């Protein structure tokens, strides 16, 4: 019997050292890869297949927006195409941050090459101009339960820092149990100095990330509108849940509004991944969520968002882990690929 599924596309930061060779290992005949490579070659950019088959991972190369974004897109889209439709009925698609562009292609709102154009163009613009940066900081305890007042206190500190002269800081992504903040160097440094270090790695700067989903990206939004045609966008064939928790349905989507959201609001306003997951859980009530690769880092944030939505009665990390042992409800494509290779 088929299971209903909501698919989640990953954002930046999901192709790292362990993911090197992801396409070659899991999708040696990746759909559209030759076309993607040819497109990149015409722009004088490294082919995706070349980036994926480097002899070793290079942070400065693989995490650049003009390389990371299209590489992640190719991996995630290939994962999506490989989902067995005899086993899963895909009832909705969402994504985190850059994953929105991937979700558009998976849902048919842009064709595969159109998705590559959107991803590559926006990733390149953000890398070339590199306005601001990002960091990430958690507000849950070790059992993925909210520490009373911590989130509000952190956001209050963000407002305080942002009010200082020459300081820019704001919420970038509401990511499950973590806040992704974006700002200029003064704003980010002030926040790092104002909060305690946690788990030996937070607050954590995100390498080669700009001040995504804030007003700092208004110049990038304008350049995106100039570079990308509205004609790329068509009716989705599968419902899309965006970074506000709003749903774009097949046959009733205003494609002009979708274009404007994608290159406007989605670029310059906070992205609420938690709201997207909450909407997906409550409106579509899927049997499972499937997180596309590469990487597995989005799995934790997705589980945290589902716990906050009280999906399936989950109230903590322990609840999630106990159900995962008997009936997994959160499926990670990257983990499924690795298991298949080891069999």
- The predicted model gives 291-315 an average pLDDT of 96
Q: Give the model confidence (pLDDT) of 75-122 as tens digits.
A: 999 999 999 999 999 999 999 999 999 999 999 999 999 999 999 999
Q: What is the reported pLDDT for 1?
A: 84
With a pLDDT cut of 90, the percent of the chain lying above it is: 97
Domain boundaries, the chain: 3-130+216-342, 133-211
Report the interhelical angle of 112-129 vs 218-227 (nearest 10°): 140
**Residue 87 CB neighbour total at 10 angstroms:** 11
CATH topology of domain 133-211: Alpha-Beta Plaits (3.30.70)
The CA dihedral of 84, 238, 276, 258, to the nearest 10 degrees, is 140
- What are 66's strand-pairing partners? none
The CA distance from 276 to 302, in Å, is: 10
Q: Is the pLDDT of residue 147 over 80?
A: yes
What is the CATH architecture of 3-130+216-342?
3-Layer(aba) Sandwich (3.40)
- The predicted model gives 306-332 an average pLDDT of 96
The model's pTM is 0.97
């Amino acid at each position: 019997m088929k299971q209903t599924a909501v698919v989640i596309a990953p954002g930046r930061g999901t192709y790292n050292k362990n993911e090197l060779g992801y396409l070659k290992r899991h999708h040696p005949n990746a759909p559209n890869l030759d076309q993607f490579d040819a497109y990149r070659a015409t722009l004088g950019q490294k082919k995706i297949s070349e980036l994926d088959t480097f002899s070793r991972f290079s942070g400065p190369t693989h995490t650049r927006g003009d390389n990371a974004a299209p590489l992640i897109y190719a991996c995630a889209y290939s994962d999506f195409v490989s989902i067995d439709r005899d086993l899963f009925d895909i009832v909705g698609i969402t994504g985190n941050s850059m994953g929105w562009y991937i979700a558009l292609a998976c849902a048919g709102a842009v064709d595969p090459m159109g998705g590559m154009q959107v991803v590559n163009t926006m990733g390149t613009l953000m890398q070339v101009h590199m306005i601001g940066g990002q960091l990430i900081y958690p507000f849950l305890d070790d059992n993925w339960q909210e520490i009373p007042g911590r989130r509000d206190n952190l956001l209050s500190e963000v407002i305080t820092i942002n009010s200082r002269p020459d300081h820019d800081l704001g919420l970038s992504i509401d990511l499950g149990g973590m806040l992704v903040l974006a700002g200029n160097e003064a704003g980010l440094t002030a926040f790092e100095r104002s909060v305690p270090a946690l788990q030996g790695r937070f607050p954590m700067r995100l390498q080669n990330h700009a001040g995504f989903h804030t007003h700092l990206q208004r110049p990038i939004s304008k350049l995106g509108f100039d570079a990308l045609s509205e004609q790329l966008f068509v009716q989705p064939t599968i419902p899309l849940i965006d970074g506000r928790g709003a749903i774009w349905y097949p046959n009733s989507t205003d494609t002009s509004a979708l274009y404007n959201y994608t290159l406007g609001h989605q670029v310059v306003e906070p992205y609420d991944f938690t709201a997207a997951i909450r909407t997906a859980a409550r409106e579509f009530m899927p049997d499972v969520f499937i997180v596309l690769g590469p990487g597995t880092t989005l799995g934790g944030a997705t589980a945290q968002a589902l716990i906050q939505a009280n999906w399936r009665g989950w109230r903590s990390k322990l609840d999630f882990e106990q159900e995962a042992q008997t009936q997994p409800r959160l499926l990670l494509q990257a983990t499924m690929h690795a298991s298949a290779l080891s069999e």
